């Protein structure tokens, strides 16, 4: 039997507001436990929540960027359940009337085609606290700093058909919330989290299969692995004559397996009802249009512009626009250099390699856009070859100074003096009579050997174009 995989994702994006969604407590990450939880976050008697307008604005920006409808009237609801990290005994969320619904994003598949993934809804809610199970000698500790931090829960249609598609969608949402500056996207710190709903069905069947929900997925790599594992497990269960049960499963990255956490609650277990402490959120046309006017250039539009204006390939344009900061860096370099392809190659090659190695964001790059222009300009005017430029780049990265300073200090200026190169070419030919004979007998490949010899004698500084030209002439005899 051939199986079709069906995946729908729920993304929780922590909104980058300074204070919490219903209180004035700080949302900053990493403070000592329970220093950023006020009476509202703790659910003390007599307190009242006050909605943070900034969270509403951010949710609307997301909706507008994904072609969703922005509800003119949305309602907060109480989702009731008991858990130690939820002081009130309910989470304030949205249920029947979410602030954003019905949009889509497009993803690019490996074969280069595009696919549209539907966004069912995005609603505002508060985060819960955190249970800490280590260092309490058999007890659990609770940190309520995170309680009340605003979340935007983004729910997709079950439109994805493979783990790869799910990851592509997730990366798209990740890119988008960072462009919009509504979420920092930090998966390690938990500010961008994802639950994956996975089911399988026989190829051709229209009805959906029973799904399992995977939690605890905190990296793109784990998400792909966990989904693939879960798909295999479900197929095994069905082919072994069993039935998939609807449940929540946890991914264990150490053991590389998923295991059952709890059977899935039905919505009516939560006894949702409108929160009587909060008024409905009413947004008018003018306000929504003002938010639309605030939208930055979005990744898709930027990508198209990069292809059209700079002649980049779809692939390069995709990579360079995947983060707004990378796109900005690229545009700054091109503005000072006028060679988009060279800029793209260096940003996607040496620069991104160095950033990865040092685990740095591009905003904290040790070679900024101005310094990069200084380096690439020296390749363009033939002061150094592309190969030597890599050495110069490394030195710049280590803080040795600008490209010009490094080139002077290390004596890396390319030899472009034809007479000087010619003398070395003659020396090399004279020193290798056997290879010369073989070359002339038709072994063309030996050109590379001669080039290598000249480069060795000049410590890589001879202009490669000139070396090639001179060697071809002289080797002919
Ligand atoms: P809940 O709130 O209980 O998790 P929802 O109906 O809101 O349930 O669905 C959550 C997510 O699960 C959505 O992204 C949806 O696309 C996805 N989903 C629903 N049914 C299936 C299914 N049979 N297979 C895969 N994904 C599904
Ligand atoms: Mg769910």
Q: Is there an atom of ligand 1 within 6 Å of 162 CB?
A: no
Q: Is there an atom of ligand 1 within 6 Å of 158 CB?
A: yes
Tell me what pLDDT residue 267 has.
Answer: 65
Q: Is there an atom of ligand 1 within 6 Å of 156 CB?
A: yes
Tell me what pLDDT residue 52 has.
Answer: 98
- Do 329 and 389 fall into the same domain? yes
pLDDT in tens, 34-78: 999 999 999 999 999 999 999 999 999 999 999 999 999 999 999
- Do 44 and 94 fall into the same domain? yes
Nearest ligand to the CA of 211 is: 1
Q: Is there an atom of ligand 1 within 6 Å of 64 CB?
A: no
pLDDT in tens, 102-156: 999 999 888 888 999 999 999 999 999 999 888 888 899 999 999 999 999 999 9
Q: Report whether pLDDT(266) > 90.
A: no
154, 197, 210: residue to mutate for ligand 1 pocket, most atoms within 8 A of CB: 197
Among the candidates 259, 289, 319, a domain finishes at 289
- Do 247 and 314 fall into the same domain? no
Among the candidates 255, 289, 323, a domain finishes at 289
| CATH number (domain holding residue 465) | 1.10.10.410
- Do 440 and 388 fall into the same domain? no
Tell me what pLDDT residue 328 has.
Answer: 97
Show the domain range for 24: 3-289
- Do 213 and 345 fall into the same domain? no
Nearest ligand to the CA of 122 is: 1
Q: Report whether pLDDT(261) > 90.
A: no
Q: Report whether pLDDT(97) > 70.
A: yes
Mean pLDDT of 397-419: 91
Query: Which atom of ligand 1 is the closest one to the Cα of 157?
Result: 16
Q: Name the domain count of the chain.
A: 3
Percent of the chain exceeding pLDDT 70 equals 99
Question: Of 457, 340, 359, 346, which is closest to residue 392 (Cα–Cα)?
Answer: 346
The protein residue whose alpha carbon is closest to atom 15 in ligand 1 is 8
Query: Which atom of ligand 1 is the closest one to the Cα of 197?
Result: 26
- Do 155 and 242 fall into the same domain? yes
- Do 93 and 31 fall into the same domain? yes
Among the candidates 239, 260, 289, a domain finishes at 289
Q: What is the DSSP secondary-structure string of 145-210?
A: TTTT-EEEEEEE-S-B-SHHHHHHHHHHHHHHHHHTTS----TTTTSEEEEEEEEEEETT--SPPP
Helix axes 163-179, 299-310, angle to 10 degrees: 90
pTM check: above 0.85: yes
- How many angstroms does the Cα of residue 265 sit away from the middle of ligand 1? 12
- Do 69 and 199 fall into the same domain? yes
First to last CA, the chain: 69
- In 3-state terms, what secondary structure has residue 235? helix
- Do 308 and 381 fall into the same domain? yes
Nearest ligand to the CA of 4 is: 1
In this structure, what token pair is assigned to residue 12? 């929780």
Q: Is there an atom of ligand 1 within 6 Å of 154 CB?
A: no
Mean pLDDT of 463-470: 88
- Do 218 and 303 fall into the same domain? no
């Amino acid at each position: 039997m051939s199986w079709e995989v069906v995946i729908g994702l729920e993304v929780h994006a922590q909104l980058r507001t300074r204070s919490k969604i219903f209180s004035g407590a700080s949302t900053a990450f990493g403070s000592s436990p329970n220093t950023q939880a006020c009476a509202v976050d703790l659910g003390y008697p007599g307190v009242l929540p006050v909605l943070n307008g900034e969270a509403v604005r951010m949710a609307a920006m997301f909706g507008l960027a994904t072609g969703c409808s922005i509800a003119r009237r949305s309602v907060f609801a109480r989702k009731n359940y008991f858990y130690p990290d939820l002081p009130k005994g309910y989470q304030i969320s949205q249920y029947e009337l979410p602030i954003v619904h019905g949009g889509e994003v497009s993803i690019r598949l490996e074969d280069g085609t595009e696919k549209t993934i539907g966004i069912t809804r995005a609603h505002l809610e508060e985060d819960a606290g955190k249970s800490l199970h280590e260092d309490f000698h058999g007890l659990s500790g609770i940190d309520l700093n995170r309680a009340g931090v605003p979340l935007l829960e983004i729910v997709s249609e079950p439109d994805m058909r493979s783990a790869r598609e799910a990851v592509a969608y997730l990366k798209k949402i990740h890119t988008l919330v960072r462009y919009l500056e509504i979420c920092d996207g930090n998966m390690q710190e938990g500010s961008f989290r994802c639950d994956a709903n996975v089911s399988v069905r026989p190829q051709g069947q229209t009805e959906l299969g029973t799904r399992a929900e995977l939690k605890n997925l905190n990296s793109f790599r784990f998400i792909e692995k966990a989904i693939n594992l879960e798909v295999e497990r479900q197929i095994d269960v069905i082919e072994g004559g069993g039935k998939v049960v609807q449940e929540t499963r946890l991914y264990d990255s150490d053991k590389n397996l998923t295991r059952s956490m709890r059977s899935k609650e039905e919505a009516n277990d939560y006894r949702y009802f409108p929160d009587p402490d909060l008024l409905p959120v009413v947004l008018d046309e003018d306000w929504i249009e003002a938010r639309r006017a605030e939208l930055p250039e979005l990744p898709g539009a930027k990508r198209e512009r990069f292809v059209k204006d700079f002649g980049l390939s779809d692939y390069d344009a995709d990579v360079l626009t995947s983060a707004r900061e990378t796109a900005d860096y690229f545009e700054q370099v091109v503005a000072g250099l006028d060679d988009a392809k060279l800029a793209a190659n260096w940003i996607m090659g040496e620069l991104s390699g160095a950033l990865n190695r040092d685990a740095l964001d591009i905003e904290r790059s040790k070679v900024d856009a101005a310094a990069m222009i200084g380096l690439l300009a020296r390749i363009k005017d033939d002061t150094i070859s592309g190969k030597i430029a890599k050495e110069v780049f490394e030195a710049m990265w280590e803080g040795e100074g600008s490209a010009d300073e490094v080139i002077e200090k290390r004596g890396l200026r390319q030899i472009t003096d034809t007479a000087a190169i010619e003398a070395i070419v003659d020396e090399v030919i004279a020193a290798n009579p056997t290879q010369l004979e073989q070359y002339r007998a038709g072994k063309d490949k030996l050109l590379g050997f001669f080039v290598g010899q000249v480069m060795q004698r000049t410590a890589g500084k001879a202009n490669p174009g000139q070396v090639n030209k001179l060697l071809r002439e002289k080797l002919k005899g």
